[in-house]
Structure 1
């Protein structure tokens, strides 16, 4: 039974990393300066990176819903403070997953492709691990806005993933895009997101405006833009979850300080 579950998870991991639709690695980018993107998260199964994420709260990571759909939370390890996946450093912090949250994710149409991961404990924030701000609910992102995409995804459709975090300057475009998405292109170059970058952030003006969702026509095809889930559509939902968890922690603290047993009152 255990071996069957392991084989199933490995096949699922391969499908996430190698799908022709879901995206993974940065093509045509550049290595990020070590720890210059302290909010960047690596999601791993059995020591293998399969998706990115963004630290938006000491105990919450935002990623793509397709990254965690059908995956048992106990199989995922969340890493913060990472630059080179093959070179463990003292900056690394590893976390187990307490819970996944999704919001009506539609796998067939790749809609609402956003998820929250509640960590087993808060991250210890420092120079190498920081949270990044969310946009306002409903905030627009005009065409032509300059942003930064990043990830440990493949360097090309048929190439392996990158061990070192890559980043790429991209421009927001509207052609062929959908209202639920933010779309980008890298002007005048064959570059873009690829397999393995899924779940990573699109950072615009210091804010995480979108989550890496999917591509069309292969990595950096230049025929289609890259598609990201628009975070501003989900800010109220995100904040409601954060408040609920924080209020629950405050209640637990009250129960403990009043002499009640640990756990439920």
Structure 2
């Protein structure tokens, strides 16, 4: 029994190493870099008790776009922070809001993540300045072409142990065809989705802590972070985003009604 202990210890260390590696890959912008401070002034941090839960994008002075799955179990007492570079420290540029209305798409499906889009109405209008600006949106029905170069940014955790990045992170990604994406995701990718992955087979992409953040191509928010492989930034499974252009009419209707 005593002679088996070193072997069992080695197995335990190996398992622990594997778990830590998996955790590191699962919850952060993969292969990213720190964004230039306030170079993404449309970014919103959706928070609960001062902790970043999801990302979002300011689409006008009083509305933020995010992902519906962020709000499956999120209490109503959430806050929205605009103008942040760090979400772990107070910055003079930050603007803080409560939420007046929280609306998921009526056909959102939490199992398939179809129609995974959400709107938050802020309790007051944002002050637009060098640190806070809205993002442009595509036209209704407009599609983004494969190989289009894009940017994704977020404050997702760096490990499963709630280790937050010190500042906003970003990485490059490239749109892939829906047909190619469907071959990886066994037919689960609909016309309401858009896929992107690293153009050079390097691990780059988003993870769960970045949900709701915008996929920005040609300075427009064409996607909303929805889901990815368990092993994030896995080139075999492109990252999947909600296709914003499919929901422009719905968004306009909601923003007129509230």
Instruction: Please tell me whether Structure 1 or Structure 2 has the larger radius of gyration of its CA atoms.
Output: 2
Change (3 A) 1:172 1:157: farther
Q: What CA distance in whole angstroms lies between the structure 2 residues aligned with 1:205 and 1:233?
A: 18
Structure 2 alignment gaps of length 5 or more? 1-22, 183-188
Shift of 1:24: 5.1
On the 8 A contact 2:47/2:79 being kept in 1, the answer is: yes
1:1-265 to structure 2, matched below 5 A, reads: 25-73=28-76, 75-103=77-105, 104-155=107-158, 160-174=163-177, 175-177=180-182, 178=189, 179-188=191-200, 189-245=202-258
Secondary structure of residue in 1 paired with 2:59 = strand
Shift of 1:63: 0.2
Structure 1 alignment gaps of length 5 or more? 1-19, 246-265
Q: What CA distance in whole angstroms lies between the structure 2 residues aligned with 1:138 and 1:63?
A: 19
Q: CA RMSD in A?
A: 1.7
- Superposed CA deviations along residues 83-125 of structure 1, whole A, max 9, x for unmatched, are 0112211111000001111112100111110000001111111
The TM-score, its normalising length taken from structure 1, stands at: 0.80
Shift of 1:159: 8.0
Change (3 A) 1:170 1:157: farther
Q: What CA distance in whole angstroms lies between the structure 2 residues aligned with 1:207 and 1:143?
A: 16
Q: What CA distance in whole angstroms lies between the structure 2 residues aligned with 1:230 and 1:224?
A: 17
Secondary structure of residue in 2 paired with 1:234 = helix
The TM-score, its normalising length taken from structure 2, stands at: 0.82
